[in-house]
Structure 1
Amino acid sequence: MIVSTAGPGAPRPARPSTALVLHGGSARRGEGAGTAAQRATLYAFAAMLFTLIVLQKFGVPAAGTVASFSLIGFSLSHLYLVFRGVLKLNPVRLILYSLFLVSAIVSQFFATLPPSFPSLLLVALIYFICCFEIQCSKETYLKCLSMFQNAIVGVCGLTLLQHAIQIVWSADYWINLDELIPPSFRYVQFVYLQPLEWGSRFYKPNAYFFLEVSILSQFVGMALLIEVIWFQRLWRLALYSVVMLSAFAGTGLLLVLSAMPLVLLRTSPRVAGLLAAALLILPPAVFLSGWYEAVQHRITELNRPNTSGNQRFVAPVIEMREFYKRPEAIYSGKGAGNILQNPDIVWWSLAKVSVEYGLISTVLFHIFLIHMLFSRTPTRRLALGLLVSFVFLNGSLAVPVNGFICYLLAGLLRPDLSIRRLNPGGLWATAFDPRRYDQDGVARGSIPQRSATG
């Protein structure tokens, strides 16, 4: 809007009939820079989310292996955002990333085994992408979160469909991407189909697209946290909770529980009531549904070698304990890609970086990770859950989907931090409805603010 700075009696200049705005190398008639930036952000976010969910099992042959398609999807999306002038390089992240990368490269000269340079290159590419961010409005931020929530509703529907199919017929009737995708384009090293227990006719669902059930469980757990923090829709809270439990994987539950202390400290009476009701309903539901009987054997797995629980939570600790007995472990390791290749063992990021790159690189990498997740983030409650998920629940370092989902939900978008100063529980979120905002992200019916500069 053009406002005259002259006296009240001076005639106002005529408003141009057509505005031509140049933004990031693109021009659109009648479109403001804010609208163009929001549209570009939403398009790119949707594309990255699509690669992380629908294309998890897809890859491209590269250097004798298969590179996850999500790396290509994120790279192309970032190039698009650069062309649109939306993407910004975070200088602190870049410095921390550079320190880690230099340390990791130097450590390879002292490695005890020949390093895998494709593995080092993959790590370098994944976390260089994570050095970028987008300055956006609160409306754009919440629309992106809404997009993620809607996608997970679809994932939940597919999960329940799988359960229905195997109850009525059998899991043999599931669509199996391992049979549909050519081997040279299939991202492997994950347990795609996993029986509920040894010899069972029932299988844990994977919503068809997910590499394994533990990743599905974590994505649903992330959606549950987002719902509690921002939107608080009762039917979605119920849906996410039911699907997370019906996946029969504990990783999503651990993710949610890790962030719950922060959620409870800053919760509203509405959320407190919902959580209290859930705590009353959950125990009988767990026992009556048979969920506890199906997973109770996992509790004792920590003390039994070659079991899932032991290989997820005990094997990494043993490996690090043995590795750090060596004095040279401070500055070097076995070399990139040389940690034991066992698909049954979940190498924590702490263990993998330590064993392959040494202590100094491990410290620098996790400083970078913590800064990306927590610095200027709209909600530290979600960031805490994502940190626990990345470090302890996945073999995360060189798996793009695990690093990129943390970046997408807590590292990419940087809205106005005043969003955190709203009432605990998200007063903004409970009133948020994308249909109430116009294409510029401005609430419909609000009074536009005039600018003296036009």
Structure 2
Amino acid sequence: MSAELTALDCKPWGKATIREVIDAPLHGGERGMLRLTVAGLLVLILGQKLAFPPTIELSFYTSFALAIVLLLWRKGAIDPARMLGYVASMAVCILVTVTSPLHPAFSITAIMYLVIIHMPFMLVVPVRRTFYLKLLRIFMMIGMVVATLVYVQWAQQLVGMRMINLEDYIPKPFLYVGYNYIQKLDYFSQYYKPNAFLMLETSHTSQTLAIATLIELCLFRRMLIVAYMLIAQLVTFGGTGMLLIVVTIPFVLRYLSLRLVLTGMIIFPIALIVAAQVGVLDNALGRSAEFDKPGTSGNGRFVNHFVIAAKSASLDADHALFGIGAGQVSPFVNDSTTVFLPLSKLTVEYGLPAALLFFAWMTYCFFTAGVPMVVTWPLLILFNLIGGTLLIPINTYYCLFLTAMFVPNRATAFTQARLFRRDRLPRIASHVIAGEASETR
């Protein structure tokens, strides 16, 4: 990374225009690094249905390979604090498994996958803010493709065509298994929820569009594109995407002008009426009513896994401290709708101390990269409360690409100097100070 910081690098989040981001030059190896990262994002988002073997997504290999390349290319380094947290978390998970007084059966494969899949989170790649904004812009372009595919799928259905099924064209040994790729709007409906052809299921489509909508609204502010993405997100009928937007509203407000907030207050009632007419509101209310109904998707995704974790930890001290064994199924699981999230899964399998230590480490990785909260917060919620992502690369590496690996904050210059070239520190610090001084004028 060049030590020369530009005006764009010193601008606060949300103050740069999309034209400034497009026109800003990249320096040296930044171009090659961006191309590699974009290739990883494309596989992660648009290739998430691909796997080999069927239980391991293609994006696991490509994302892990990207981290190794960046490390060998000396674009990044292992952060000591992150490494300490990683080693401690993984060591505790392994130790409680092999020393448990319960002597549980355990899956070596599950332990190895836990250790390997989270290894890239130790890597820190200092970048200029320009690089990160360009990465987000390309993510937005991918989001536009996803939104367009959603509209195409609805157009197909509304004219009476059968929605294209990706599973008809890819050999089964290369398809990721375990997801409801095709879902009806409801049991009696003739229509199916759009999944943008390439996504694992509707919820993943909805989540991608929600994150893209938040980024566009707060950082690039092109309102036509915001509307294009938001409408596509709504007509996926995926509740998790809407939930991500709702829980991020407190962080969104600081990016919006008073005029835009007032406009939103006027438009919101109209949007509710439209949502009610097309069935989006009924769908959302129906899903929320499932929370207290065992055997439903809402209960299994948001409630039951925590209930199971609490029951398992309350059996006795050994179950609370050591868990039932890596990769083992809790005897309290009594339906197929339960989706275990990282904290509940770790509590059941490895015990509460290991779960809390892992949660603390991952949270540290999220919040020390210095990316905007409108990116960090929804991905933190997605990882911990929605996605069921502990051993699933798609949402885990969303977090790696957008909130953990690249460090674009103003401390980047200091980090770069500390990790690579200490002799540059005075020069780089002067650039940062000059940039801050220009903002205050």
TM-score, length-scaled by structure 1: 0.80
Question: Residue 196 of structure 1: CA displacement?
Answer: 0.5
Candidates 285, 292, 295, aligned match of 1:303: 292
Contact persistence 2:322–2:351 (CA under 8 A): yes
The CA deviation string for residues 190-218 of structure 1, in whole angstroms up to 9 with x for no partner, is 11111110132111111011111111111
CA distance in 2, matches of 1:293, 1:383: 30
Match of 2:88 in 1: 99
SS of 2:328's partner is: coil
CA distance in 2, matches of 1:316, 1:112: 24
CA distance in 2, matches of 1:274, 1:145: 26
Match of 1:243 in 2: 232
Match of 2:377 in 1: 384
Match of 2:387 in 1: 394
Give the AA of the match of 1:390: F
Question: Residue 406 of structure 1: CA displacement?
Answer: 1.3
TM alignment of 1:42-441, pairs within 5 A: 42-61=34-53, 66-109=55-98, 110=100, 113-170=104-161, 173-265=162-254, 267-269=256-258, 271-273=260-262, 275-325=264-314, 326-339=316-329, 344-417=337-410
Contact persistence 1:373–1:383 (CA under 8 A): yes
Question: Residue 52 of structure 1: CA displacement?
Answer: 1.0
Q: Which has the larger radius of gyration?
A: 1
Question: Residue 39 of structure 1: CA displacement?
Answer: 1.2
The CA deviation string for residues 81-126 of structure 1, in whole angstroms up to 9 with x for no partner, is 2343212222211111111000000111116531111111111111
Q: How many residues align?
A: 382
Question: Residue 183 of structure 1: CA displacement?
Answer: 2.3
Distance 1:51 1:149, change over 3 A: same
Question: Residue 372 of structure 1: CA displacement?
Answer: 1.1
Deviation above 6 Å: which 4+ runs of structure 1? none
Unaligned runs of 5+ in 2: 1-25, 413-441
Structure having the larger proportion of residues in strand: 1
Unaligned runs of 5+ in 1: 1-33, 420-454
Distance 1:98 1:346, change over 3 A: same
SS of 1:129's partner is: helix
Question: Residue 361 of structure 1: CA displacement?
Answer: 0.9
The CA deviation string for residues 162-195 of structure 1, in whole angstroms up to 9 with x for no partner, is 011011124xx33322232222222111111111
Question: Residue 278 of structure 1: CA displacement?
Answer: 4.2
SS of 2:27's partner is: helix
CA distance in 1, matches of 2:323, 2:168: 38
CA distance in 1, matches of 2:310, 2:202: 29
CA distance in 2, matches of 1:330, 1:40: 48
Give the AA of the match of 2:348: V
Contact persistence 1:348–1:392 (CA under 8 A): yes
CA distance in 2, matches of 1:376, 1:71: 22
CA RMSD of aligned residues (A): 2.1
Question: Residue 329 of structure 1: CA displacement?
Answer: 3.0
Question: Residue 271 of structure 1: CA displacement?
Answer: 4.5
Contact persistence 2:272–2:281 (CA under 8 A): no
The CA deviation string for residues 388-442 of structure 1, in whole angstroms up to 9 with x for no partner, is 11111111100011110012111121113389xxxxxxxxxxxxxxxxxxxxxxx
Contact persistence 2:346–2:355 (CA under 8 A): yes
Distance 1:178 1:112, change over 3 A: farther
SS of 1:254's partner is: helix
Give the AA of the match of 2:225: R
CA distance in 1, matches of 2:279, 2:55: 39
SS of 1:133's partner is: strand
CA distance in 2, matches of 1:78, 1:285: 44
- Of residues 245-254 and 258-267 in structure 1, the stretch that sits farther from structure 2 once superposed is 258-267
CA distance in 2, matches of 1:375, 1:69: 28
The answer to whether 1:36 aligns with 2:28 is yes
CA distance in 2, matches of 1:404, 1:308: 24
Contact persistence 1:66–1:184 (CA under 8 A): no
The CA deviation string for residues 307-365 of structure 1, in whole angstroms up to 9 with x for no partner, is 11111122112101211112113431121111358753221211111111111111111
CA distance in 2, matches of 1:181, 1:116: 30
SS of 1:42's partner is: helix
Distance 1:253 1:294, change over 3 A: closer
SS of 2:52's partner is: strand
- Of residues 90-99 and 298-307 in structure 1, the stretch that sits farther from structure 2 once superposed is 298-307
SS of 2:188's partner is: coil
Contact persistence 1:44–1:80 (CA under 8 A): no
Match of 1:21 in 2: none
CA distance in 2, matches of 1:199, 1:289: 16
Identical amino acids, percent of aligned pairs: 28
Distance 1:206 1:69, change over 3 A: same
Contact persistence 2:312–2:320 (CA under 8 A): no
Distance 1:355 1:309, change over 3 A: same
CA distance in 1, matches of 2:409, 2:287: 43
TM-score, length-scaled by structure 2: 0.82
